[in-house]
Amino acid sequence: MTVAPVHPAPSPLKAVGWTILFLVLGFVLTLAVGAGGFAIAGAAPDPANPTTRDLVVQTVAGLAGFGVVTWMLGVRVLRLTAADLRWAPLATAGRGFGLGIVLGALPAVVALGLSVPLGHAQFLRDAGGPLVYLRQVGLTALILAPAALVEELMFRGVGQVVLARAFGRLPAILLLSVLFALAHLFNPNPTALGLVNIALAGVFLGLAFYAPGGIWTAWGAHLGWNATLAALDAPVSGFPLKIPWIDYEPGGPVWLTGGSFGPEGGLLASATLVLATAAVWKWTRKETA
């Protein structure tokens, strides 16, 4: 007698349909919660120059929107378990998150470090001191952390699980990585290479999702990359973040260092992300759960 799997693979058409529905419902609910938040705040966001308040409202809206849809569609309708969604137990979540931080921070440090001898970038002294610097870096990380989690819920959550069952892990990761890059299309000063690198980062994070720490590792890697760039005063996907005491000048050429889009717009980031992706691929390829 053949025993049916607990979660049979959906047909490719159904998998794509569920993924589209997940993303659409998540965005609609996020927009609704965000509109309510800005109405309460009494001011509309400025897309060209978002304030800390704008980022907090948008992040809270994203967590609410995609968190609810993950539970409503992923758990209640599709019957996905915490293990299916790669929500590792709390006993291992901290280790996975910490390892993810290291996985994301290392390629960011290498990309910025190489920009000094190869791209004539400079780290200059800015106003403020070490204590002011540490406080601002901490506050910036607190803002970036939930924002990174929102993007992990969007692109390494229900959709990746469902698509991977229908098409396999790598095709699912590649498809969602393209969507991940397109979601950054309207960031400040985007470039073709920048979008390619963001897609590559999506592959890196999609593979980290299958590390023993699950989504915690992917979240940590996402935050590790973003927070390290911010801590060294480099733009994050086109968004400049004001950090005292240190001033990063990217040098050039832009195709190498990324210019005003940040390191993600240059070939140095491409190289470090390729190496990081290869390392995570080697680490996770034997993971079957």
Asked whether residue 288 carries a pLDDT value surpassing 60, the answer given is no
Burial 51-78 (b: 16+ CB within 10 A, else e): eeebbbbbbbbbbbbbbebbeebbeeeb
Indicate whether 39 belongs to any domain. Answer: no
CA distance 18 to 172: 13
Asked whether residue 42 carries a pLDDT value surpassing 90, the answer given is no
- In the chain, % of residues over pLDDT 70: 95
Asked whether residue 5 carries a pLDDT value surpassing 60, the answer given is no
79-103 per-position pLDDT tens digit? 999 999 999 888 889 999 999 999 9
Total tally of structural domains belonging to the chain: 1
Mean pLDDT (the chain) is 93
Indicate whether 6 belongs to any domain. Answer: no
Indicate whether 272 belongs to any domain. Answer: yes
For the chain, the C-alpha Rg in angstroms (whole number) is 19
Indicate whether 42 belongs to any domain. Answer: no
Asked whether residue 3 carries a pLDDT value surpassing 70, the answer given is no
pLDDT band at 77 (very low <50, low <70, confident <90, very high): very high
Report pLDDT for 8: 67
Q: What is the domain extent for residue 112?
A: 87-284
Indicate whether 173 belongs to any domain. Answer: yes
- In the chain, % of residues over pLDDT 90: 83
Which of 275, 280, 238 has its CA nearest to residue 110? Answer: 275
CA distance 127 to 277: 37
Report pLDDT for 49: 73
pLDDT band at 129 (very low <50, low <70, confident <90, very high): very high
Number of Cβ atoms within 10 Å of the Cβ of 182: 12
Indicate whether 179 belongs to any domain. Answer: yes
Mean pLDDT of 133-153: 96
pLDDT band at 52 (very low <50, low <70, confident <90, very high): confident
CA distance 70 to 23: 10
Out of 3-7, 37-41, 51-55, 231-235, the most confident range is 231-235
Cβ-proximal residues to 15 (8 Å cutoff; 6+ apart), any chain = 9, 162, 163, 165, 166, 167
178-230 per-position pLDDT tens digit? 999 999 999 999 999 999 999 999 999 999 999 999 999 999 999 999 999 99
| pTM score of the predicted model | 0.94
* Neighbour-count burial of 145, counting CB atoms closer than 10 A to its CB (0-12 exposed, 13-18 middle, 19+ buried): middle
Asked whether residue 28 carries a pLDDT value surpassing 50, the answer given is yes
Indicate whether 35 belongs to any domain. Answer: no
Indicate whether 192 belongs to any domain. Answer: yes
